[in-house]
Structure 1
Amino acid sequence: MKISFLGAAGEVTGSQHLIETDSRRILLDCGLFQGHRQESYLKNSWFAYPPDSIDAVFLSHGHMDHCGNLPRLFSKGFRGPIFCTSATADIAEIMLKDSARIQAEDAKYLARKLKEKHPPIEPLYSEEDVDGVAKLFERLDYHEWHELGDDVKLRFLDAGHILGSAIIEMKIKDQREWRHLVFTGDLGRRNLPLLRDPETIEGCEVLISESTYGNRVHEKVSDIKEELYQILDEAYRVEGRVIIPAFSLGRTQQIIYYLNELYNEKRLPHIPIFVDSPLSTRLVSVFRHHLHEMDDEVQAMMEADKDPFGFALLDYVSTREQSIALNKRKGAFVVIAGSGMCENGRVRHHLKNGIDNIENTIVLMGYQAANTLGRRLQQRDPKVKIFDRYYKVKAKVVQLSGLSGHADVEDFKWWYAQSAKLGNIGQVFLVHGEPESAEALAALIRDECDLEPIIPHYQQSFEV
């Protein structure tokens, strides 16, 4: 059996791994490379294999760095099944439609900026390609083994990373011999709001494991709700607005859930809260549809509150006109809008209109990449550029951490130790991590594995 690492090898983007046997070619994930525009476009445009030669895709979850290049694969000839959980299928279709729309808008914008003789920049795929991909989704339940012919068996376990995320467990026959493989996808954390804890495995011969935070311990989740309460209480007293840039998938739903808990506890200040993101609103509908897949706390809440994503003080903004009207609103209110790093979306308009008021608060909820507006706010730059104009940062900037959906050192320790107790772990390949994170995780798990962990390079292949 041959495994080729065609993305998320030595980096944290573009998850894509190819498994080849004497009779099958199976792709684990087909994610977008994200980074510098030209480099990413070249990587995303090209496949290391004929797309129509792939028998099936096993999809771990609906983040764009794991599913985002499926429509390109479809446009180049792939027509096989895409196996995933039901929630992942629902999320991926929404995320891919949004990606196709953004690509089309970017292509039009660049066409106006490029010199006459420059070749046009084409979108990677269209909304029609997304429609084609959506028809290929095969929805599978967690925990059940599914026989895909006489040489492949597939089972999903809950990865606890985002709604619908899966650890992919495979039994594949190669040259008359059954092999047991596991792909973690993105492994989640314990005790995150909404999500069930990641499940462990019972050993395997080959494990492809993420390593994003193999060298880091996250802050505790438990303090976030109390910190949000303090911020909203102060805003209510000084009649300031609270601007929360948040990723549409996962982070926005977690924030709403915490605010809903505060409302149910009668601790939420009487302050209007607006979710100003059409993408977030569509994704909330998916979360509402899959409430039965969430953790025990959600199930307990629903005995008294049937909707963890709706309460009297919360409104979902749909139209552009409603969004613009918020910037003219007086008094205290909260607006949650994309994107999480403040690089695009409606949040930039809210920042432009609220950043120079000392009564306002900007709440950053997660990692802010270098050279983003979010990073400049995080490092307290006195002036920041929004829409080609500089604004003084007079608003208070608060960083809340602890909601990362990726396993950290403590989670990896627990997961590998528990899995190794139930069965031997053979050859481990560490992907989806920067080199220093992968190397740290290799040292951490060495005693739990039969063989020395391997950190593959981009496009490197191994016979196993």
Structure 2
Amino acid sequence: MQSSLVYSCHGAAKQVTGSCHLLRCGEHQVLIDCGMFQGRHEEEQANTEPFGFDPAQVDALLLTHAHLDHCGRIPRLVRQGFRGRIITTAATRDLARIVLLDAARLQEEDAARNERSGHRRGEPAPEPLSTLDDAFRALNLFADPAGYDQVVPVAQGITAQFLDAGHILGSASILLTLGEGAQQRRMLFSGDLGSSGRPILRDPTPAPPADYVVMESTYGDRDHRALPDSIDELYEAVSSTLARGGNVIIPTFALERAQEVLYYLHQGMRQQRIPEHTPVFLDSPMAISATDVFRRHPECFDEEFAATLRQDDPFSMPNLRFSRDASDSMAINRIEGGAIIMAGSGMCNGGRVRHHLRHNLWRERSGIVFVGYAAEGTLARRIINGARRVSIFGEDIAVNARVWTINGFSAHAGRDELISWLGSHPRRTVFLVHGEVERGMQAMESALAARGVTTRLPGMHEPIVLD
């Protein structure tokens, strides 16, 4: 190799979101993910700050999956000079198109709204983080997709292999082989890892031998509740709320979680654990589009689910109603009880779910069911933590509805699954990213140290020379 390898973390460094990793290998620079920061206002402000590297010097971007906190800053990267190839799986490419265009549209709408309010106050309005034009230019840089386990050339002396991460449709861990001959090094980026035994996707591929591993630690401090128990609790939350005459509100992540919950609701109705003719509303244009993408990528499915989809499509149950238009969404708010309403976003920081919370949180007979991770500073986390009142659209709303938190549906691997995924291969260093320092990261650091594994928590923009 011509010179030392240098790794630096430019997002998800001692925090949960904003995944972005740069690897310098000789004369080449490769970026792994370029996601948005989400959570508290001050964390989201980091989206407008410099990347910590020159986007124009990056040869290629490898994308692990299409969640916004892994791909959301790609249009901004392009705006600031990136012109390299974007390499990912076929399903991730299709989902990223939905996610990036939706995010750009929302950012343009927010900018226009801020401009109107700023004009009234005589203040300049900030530009959107990215525009639809930026998003389309980014989408034009996506190269031919990589198949799972296929070795893909990235740059001279650098190849990548995408391994199934089992997190969402198309998600991958990425194994980089760097240099040639005796100087060759292997570096593995976990991306986000899923749990084993889920009904739709295959289990994550165990980590192969690699000198260095960059590993997520979102749930490095705890395991999830057993999936069968979580399914039982979902059915109890839904059936008891409907029996009280209330609505069930499920804040929904558009990619994977929405489709998985639809599958379980379908199963619950077939087993008569949920009233069979209960109307189910999927009030998320992105989730509806993502569900269409699911049908196009059976190569990602668990064999059992692929067979189920051919015989009895859970995404086509007769009482499922897709709400694409804003007028359809507004009509749902006139339903005072007896419906299951799934709406984005999962952390309740935006999207249509905030309108449904505004109309249902104060009703004692309603139920709010959280089935995914909620970052600190989000509306979802405030409700989960027991807030008695919250502000939605500037209105003070009492939290009288029953709140359910069912963490067994998390798309992230738990502590023991992360350790099992890493395996016993010798590693020079495992870099822990994508987690809360005092919880996931430090707990995983201790657990791996007890197994003789050398770990490190990289700092933001910190260059680390690899032997």
Q: Secondary structure at the match of 2:295?
A: helix
Mark the CA change 1:441 to 1:392 in structure 2 (over 3 Å): closer, same or farther. closer
Q: Secondary structure at the match of 2:185?
A: strand
RMSD of aligned residue pairs (Cα, Å): 2.3
The answer to whether the 8 Å contact 1:22/1:175 transfers is no
Choose the corresponding residue for 1:319, options 317, 325, 339. 325
The answer to whether the 8 Å contact 1:225/1:259 transfers is no
Give the equivalent residue in structure 2 for 1:438.
Answer: 441
Choose the corresponding residue for 1:120, options 125, 134, 137. 125
Q: Secondary structure at the match of 2:127?
A: coil
Choose the corresponding residue for 1:53, options 47, 53, 57. 57
| Structure-1-length-normalised TM-score | 0.91
1:28-48 C-alpha deviation (Å, 9 max, x unpaired)? 111112244466445544122
Is residue 459 of structure 2 the alignment partner of residue 453 of structure 1? no
Is residue 190 of structure 2 the alignment partner of residue 184 of structure 1? yes
The answer to whether the 8 Å contact 2:239/2:273 transfers is no
2 CA distance for matches of 1:17 and 1:133? 18
Choose the corresponding residue for 2:217, options 199, 206, 211. 211
The answer to whether the 8 Å contact 2:448/2:454 transfers is no
1:407-433 C-alpha deviation (Å, 9 max, x unpaired)? 22111221223xx2xx43222222222
Q: Secondary structure at the match of 1:82?
A: strand
Question: Which structure 2 residues correspond to residues 85-96 of structure 1 after superposition, within 5 A?
Answer: 85-96=89-100
- Greater shift in the superposed pair: 351-360 or 273-282: 351-360
1:252-293 C-alpha deviation (Å, 9 max, x unpaired)? 111101112223435431211111111111111111212331
The answer to whether the 8 Å contact 2:246/2:366 transfers is yes
Mark the CA change 1:463 to 1:274 in structure 2 (over 3 Å): closer, same or farther. same
Choose the corresponding residue for 2:293, options 259, 264, 286. 286
The answer to whether the 8 Å contact 1:429/1:456 transfers is yes
Is residue 29 of structure 2 the alignment partner of residue 22 of structure 1? no
Instruction: Report the CA distance between 1:72 and its aligned residue.
Output: 0.7
1 CA distance for matches of 2:217 and 2:239? 38
Letter in 2 for 1:19: L
Count of equivalent residues: 458
2 CA distance for matches of 1:276 and 1:385? 22
Mark the CA change 1:369 to 1:32 in structure 2 (over 3 Å): closer, same or farther. closer
Question: Which structure 2 residues correspond to residues 140-159 of structure 1 after superposition, within 5 A?
Answer: 140-148=146-154, 150-159=156-165
The answer to whether the 8 Å contact 1:61/1:165 transfers is yes
Give the equivalent residue in structure 2 for 1:296.
Answer: 303
1:211-249 C-alpha deviation (Å, 9 max, x unpaired)? 222222222222232223233333444433212222222
Instruction: Report the CA distance between 1:22 and its aligned residue.
Output: 1.7
2 CA distance for matches of 1:172 and 1:380? 49
Is residue 140 of structure 2 the alignment partner of residue 135 of structure 1? yes
The answer to whether the 8 Å contact 1:246/1:338 transfers is yes
Is residue 113 of structure 2 the alignment partner of residue 106 of structure 1? no
Give the equivalent residue in structure 2 for 1:233.
Answer: 239
- Greater shift in the superposed pair: 261-270 or 51-60: 261-270
2 CA distance for matches of 1:106 and 1:442? 40
Mark the CA change 1:177 to 1:326 in structure 2 (over 3 Å): closer, same or farther. same
Letter in 2 for 1:394: N
The answer to whether the 8 Å contact 1:22/1:174 transfers is no
Is residue 168 of structure 2 the alignment partner of residue 162 of structure 1? yes
2 CA distance for matches of 1:43 and 1:272? 39
Letter in 1 for 2:395: R
2 CA distance for matches of 1:246 and 1:154? 32
Mark the CA change 1:117 to 1:174 in structure 2 (over 3 Å): closer, same or farther. farther
- Greater shift in the superposed pair: 432-441 or 16-25: 432-441
Give the equivalent residue in structure 2 for 1:378.
Answer: 384
1 CA distance for matches of 2:436 and 2:63? 22
Question: Which structure 2 residues correspond to residues 256-267 of structure 1 after superposition, within 5 A?
Answer: 256-267=262-273
2 CA distance for matches of 1:315 and 1:279? 14
Give the equivalent residue in structure 1 for 2:284.
Answer: 277
Identity %: 38
Mark the CA change 1:206 to 1:369 in structure 2 (over 3 Å): closer, same or farther. closer
The answer to whether the 8 Å contact 2:8/2:458 transfers is no
The answer to whether the 8 Å contact 2:115/2:124 transfers is no
Letter in 1 for 2:133: E
Letter in 2 for 1:135: N
Give the equivalent residue in structure 2 for 1:425.
Answer: 427
1 CA distance for matches of 2:450 and 2:357? 49
Instruction: Report the CA distance between 1:156 and its aligned residue.
Output: 0.7
Give the equivalent residue in structure 2 for 1:4.
Answer: 8
Structure 2: tracts of 5 or more residues without a match: none
Q: Secondary structure at the match of 1:223?
A: helix
Q: Secondary structure at the match of 2:311?
A: coil
- Greater shift in the superposed pair: 368-377 or 206-215: 368-377
1 CA distance for matches of 2:325 and 2:458? 46
Is residue 415 of structure 2 the alignment partner of residue 415 of structure 1? no
| Structure-2-length-normalised TM-score | 0.91
Give the equivalent residue in structure 2 for 1:268.
Answer: 274
Instruction: Report the CA distance between 1:174 and its aligned residue.
Output: 6.5
1 CA distance for matches of 2:339 and 2:411? 28
